[in-house]
Structure 1
Amino acid sequence: MISSLLKHISFFILLIQAFPLFAQEIQEEKVYVHLNKTIAITGESIWFDLRVATSSGECHSRIVYGELVNREGKGVQQSIFTLENGKAEGSLEIPGNLVSDHYILRFYTRISPMMGNEGIDNQFITVINPKNPPKTGTNKTSGLLHYSPKKASLQENLISESNAKKRSMLTPDLGGMEGKNMTISVSIKNPFLLDRFQGRFDNKIYQAQQGDKKWIPEPFGHVVFGKNLVPEIDTTETFFLSSHGSQSVLNTAKPKPNGDLFFDLGALKQYDYFIIQSSKWEQQLNFSIQSPFCTLKFKEDFVFPELILEEKDRPFLLDLIAAGKVSPYFYQPKSTDFQSIVTGFVADKTYLLDDYTRFDKLETVLREYVPEVAVRSQSKKTVFKLLNSPISGIFEQNPLMLIDAMPVFDSDVMATFNPEKIQKLEVLSREFFLNADRFAGVLSFTSYENDFGGYELPATALYLNYPLIQPKKVLQSPHFNAKRDQSNFPDFRNALFWKSEIISTADFDKIFTSEIEGEFEITISFYDEKGDFKMLRDGFEVRN
């Protein structure tokens, strides 16, 4: 017993010591993003390849954030993605209700915006909504663009042909690029963005952040930030955040003196919603979830260009719309599910309730079949007293009671609950430590459908929708159209190639054009020998 307790104490000491150490070793994180194209219609997705660079080459962050921002600085689409060894690849879908306009697509980690000018990758993209034309007079004519994007290095003759026919094949020549870790895209060129608005902008386009900066490192996974809004903060109060989806997981946190609460989800990436409760379960919560996305304002002299569409642009726009309408149906990427994680605890005893005669009250089930639990009445309240196995004693308090990882505090309601949709009961008949809290054992119930088995959400609990972490998506072909060799299969791609982690030039030895005419752009990104992020560009034209 004593050795077990010492192990827990040692663990908490190590945990407490780890965070200051992490803070001392933290490095500036520079974010660089390669987009597969810079123009799309609503409903389409923009693919991205993201790299986080540090001085040591090691990235501590495990989460990255992507936002599509309008000219007022409002995020109109926000997504969370996972980082693996400082790399992320995925796509961000363009919402269907946007007005046709230029937008900024930006990416950052939780701490990178506060660590230097390279902490946010900002790039203009153009969104076309066939049902919602651009508004006129939206540009700031008095503003000046002081913060030009970094100019991309140009390399001639990435391909030998400057002109190509529809549904033909081009052979690129990467020359001395063999062995470099490259990301390559081939897509339609955006005719509505002037050169000075193309490329990457850094943090200098934003006003300085006001107030205290919240440093929330994410070395293990996503951290949910909340606020306890009561006038007098009780730092001993425990808040419970249960995450529910394909799996259910419980996290806890105690508020800081200013009311800040941080729930580290760790390896958990898949959830549909959260439920928040407090150890003061009879009181109504005064709690607010905080957005994980940056609140930033553009500088007054930063110009959003005006999107002007003219009659001469009609053929290009019709092709753009055709490509955008076809791609979600015929070139659909495959989603990879998140791996299940180890949750919960190692139970001392597990009961499969189908092995026993069913009763319509949970207290009857416990009385009849679970010898580790003594159901008692104490001060007119039902109490479930668990056996304390290591000392052959009985706990005097209620254990931690869970249904699909959601804490249940009202033992009277629990006693009368009908467990007909409960699959199993797991019992831990010993002290249980969860972060800084100690519980008199655990009674954990699991439903068949991971839906609480019909147990009603407690009146004082908060149900929270929260931005989801996006699963990784994989193209069926780097050429987008896996059936391009079938003459009867529609081929209206305006994105002809997209692939990251290209080491051998043999992985980019062919470009297949489609039915779409116009100017196309080849973009290659990589890190050079000095560790600097570089981009090379070349182009060609497709005509009938």
Structure 2
Amino acid sequence: MNKKVIIITLLLLASAINAFSLSHQGTIPDVERIFLNTDREGYVAGELIWFKAYTLDKNNIPNDLSKVLYIELIDSVGNSVIQSKHKIDNGFGSGNIYVPSSIQTGRYLMVCYTSLMRNFDHKIYFQKSISIINSHVKVPNVNIANDSKNPVNAPLSSFSSTNNLVDLQVRKKSFPSRALVKVSLQNKSKDIMSNISISVFQADSLNLIENLKLENVQSYSSDQKMVFLPELEGHISYFNSTDNQGITAPVYLSMLSTSPEIYSTTLKEDGSAMFITQKVYGNHKMIIQAIDNSIKFEQISPFYGSDSSFRQPTLKVPPSFKNTIERRSIYTQVQNVYSKDSIFLQENAEIKDAFYGVPDHVYWLDNYTRFPTMEEVLREYVEQVQVRKKGDIYSLHVWDNSHQHFFESNPIVLFNGIPITSMNEVMKIDPLKIQSIEIITSQYIMSPQVWWAGIVSLKSYPDYQNETLIAESQSVIEFNGLSPELKFYSPDYSTNNNKRIPDFRNLLYWEPTVILEAQKAKEISFYTSDIKGKYIIKIEGWTSNGQFIQAEETFEVK
């Protein structure tokens, strides 16, 4: 990308965020709110919670404002036990949360919000109660007691469930094991209903939570201060320096990776720094460093965290549920063993290039005679890099292809994605661990404050990809990116290839994105499992004019 375009884009983004902050102070409940539905309401340890989220305006119309959804699982005393971040695109997001074997049996609150909503009272966050059973932990032998005085509140505008807009039909009411089930969905409205979800699950006794209750959103004063910026382009990561003395300096955040990714910003006088980290999935080690300053940093959590006001009534399970709990727990463990690779298969991840794009030159060192020092490798093979030494101090100079001479200042040198500021440290790297060297022979501008006289990127062999050189001025952090979305596992029994593998699925089907065009029908299909019993087909979603739709149908597996 042209360096002028990069600068203009960054300035426009900053201007847009500032303008939004000024124009929407105190009006977040009218601008954005969350609705979320799950595949069911009851789970056992080892299962996945599948969900569909909607960001809505005051008329319950999907908006395209925030790009990141935050979800926390809060236990009965208000502790946040699971935290995750998920991508939102065009007002919709979907994903899954794994229920770990370490979790306690109980009633949990799924609390959902965006960064924009953090500027207001947590009462506007979407909240949904679910039950989780862990068969490895003893549960109390008392009766179920759902507390009607503590309903599950979803802070949205009032609306009523509309069931007559979709005709949900299953062709038969009874099926054998591993049989094909076809379900017809008929849209009877004049609206296009986008991103409606459908789930098919066993109607066992573990769905202990009452149906969702919805209340009006509260009003807030217009003088509310904007502290958390809306995430218009992607996740915003916040940091504070631990020893800053009113210094303003360029700062960059880099990921330990063979596909280098670097983000740049400016350290403020108050010691704060923020980065827009787009499309970073999963957990990574990252390095944050203030250029030319030995300042240490700590990451600020983007989550709301524990709060005793989120307390839930205790989940109480009677002795009669013992067999149901044990059976479902065993089925889940068996299913995870035999179908682990299919159940936890990630959607096709986007293959990311290095932040600098396609390099101007690439040197694969196996194509050359190996030298024992990095200085020899650079001098003998890499024509676009000039090695200079003054006394005991090394410097590197990349060829400036635009002006046909070598840059006078050092380039940015990356080792597995991490910047190395000392050229003497570069010379200490073992070249026998390096697989390739990539060169950018032009000035690279990260921001108006940060630019580099070319780029030299050293990439090691896979066995050494976790190695790097960490300077005292660099802070290492564990960075939790967006949660990767798994692909829902649904076997195909049209052939007999899987007949010897047990099928103990109690969730037969989940699809978060079912689009029904106006007055048209759509058919979905799936196979039953080896578990006999009653099953529920449930659809939930929104019309394009803000009407909530919910419908159910049942069938049996005999």
Which residue pairs with 2:104 in the alignment? 99
Contact 1:29–1:119 (Cα < 8 Å) also in 2: no
Amino acid at match of 2:288: I
- Change in Cα spacing, 1:260 to 1:102, as seen in structure 2 (3 Å) is same
What TM-score comes out, normalization by structure 1 length? 0.81
Amino acid at match of 1:45: L
Displacement of 1:407 in angstroms is 0.4
Partner SS for 1:233? coil
Aligned with residue 462 of structure 2, among 433, 445, 449: 449
For structure 1, the residue ranges without an aligned partner over 5 or more in a row are: none
Report matched runs for 1:10-409 at 5 Å.
10-23=8-21, 28-54=31-57, 57-114=62-119, 120-134=125-139, 144-145=149-150, 148=153, 153=161, 167=177, 177=188, 180-181=193-194, 182-189=196-203, 191=205, 197-199=210-212, 214-236=227-249, 238-245=250-257, 247-269=259-281, 272-280=284-292, 283=294, 285-295=295-305, 297-299=307-309, 304-330=312-338, 332-333=342-343, 334-345=345-356, 347-378=359-390, 380-409=392-421
Amino acid at match of 1:232: Q
Task: Provide the C-alpha distance between the structure 2 equivalents of 1:383 and 1:117, rounded to a whole number of angstroms.
Answer: 53
Displacement of 1:508 in angstroms is 4.3
Displacement of 1:132 in angstroms is 0.7
- Change in Cα spacing, 1:457 to 1:257, as seen in structure 2 (3 Å) is closer
Which residue pairs with 1:531 in the alignment? 546
Displacement of 1:151 in angstroms is 9.0
Task: Provide the C-alpha distance between the structure 2 equivalents of 1:24 and 1:226, rounded to a whole number of angstroms.
Answer: 23
Partner SS for 1:218? coil
317-326 or 453-462, larger mean C-alpha shift: 453-462
Contact 1:104–1:123 (Cα < 8 Å) also in 2: yes
Task: Provide the C-alpha distance between the structure 2 equivalents of 1:174 and 1:344, rounded to a whole number of angstroms.
Answer: 44
**Greater relative contact order (Cα < 8 A, sep 6+):** 2
Amino acid at match of 2:49: I
Amino acid at match of 1:340: I
Displacement of 1:339 in angstroms is 1.1
Displacement of 1:16 in angstroms is 3.7
Displacement of 1:98 in angstroms is 1.1
Contact 2:502–2:530 (Cα < 8 Å) also in 1: no
Contact 1:117–1:204 (Cα < 8 Å) also in 2: no
186-195 or 259-268, larger mean C-alpha shift: 186-195
Contact 2:236–2:276 (Cα < 8 Å) also in 1: yes
What TM-score comes out, normalization by structure 2 length? 0.80
Task: Provide the C-alpha distance between the structure 1 equivalents of 2:417 and 2:388, rounded to a whole number of angstroms.
Answer: 24
- Change in Cα spacing, 1:294 to 1:451, as seen in structure 2 (3 Å) is farther
Displacement of 1:377 in angstroms is 3.1
Which residue pairs with 1:515 in the alignment? 531
Which residue pairs with 2:502 in the alignment? 490
Task: Provide the C-alpha distance between the structure 1 equivalents of 2:160 and 2:198, rounded to a whole number of angstroms.
Answer: 14
Task: Provide the C-alpha distance between the structure 2 equivalents of 1:161 and 1:431, rounded to a whole number of angstroms.
Answer: 65
Partner SS for 1:524? strand
Contact 1:169–1:513 (Cα < 8 Å) also in 2: no
Task: Provide the C-alpha distance between the structure 2 equivalents of 1:430 and 1:528, rounded to a whole number of angstroms.
Answer: 51
Counting aligned pairs with the same residue, the percent is 20
Task: Provide the C-alpha distance between the structure 1 equivalents of 2:493 and 2:34, rounded to a whole number of angstroms.
Answer: 31
Contact 2:76–2:313 (Cα < 8 Å) also in 1: no
For structure 2, the residue ranges without an aligned partner over 5 or more in a row are: none
Displacement of 1:183 in angstroms is 1.6
Task: Provide the C-alpha distance between the structure 1 equivalents of 2:185 and 2:132, rounded to a whole number of angstroms.
Answer: 31
Displacement of 1:174 in angstroms is 5.4
Contact 1:30–1:118 (Cα < 8 Å) also in 2: no
Q: 1:84-129 deviations in whole A, cap 9, x for unaligned?
A: 2222222211011111111112333332344688963321111111
Displacement of 1:379 in angstroms is 6.0
Amino acid at match of 1:295: G
User: How many pairs align?
Assistant: 528
Q: 1:231-262 deviations in whole A, cap 9, x for unaligned?
A: 413112x3222113463311222222222211
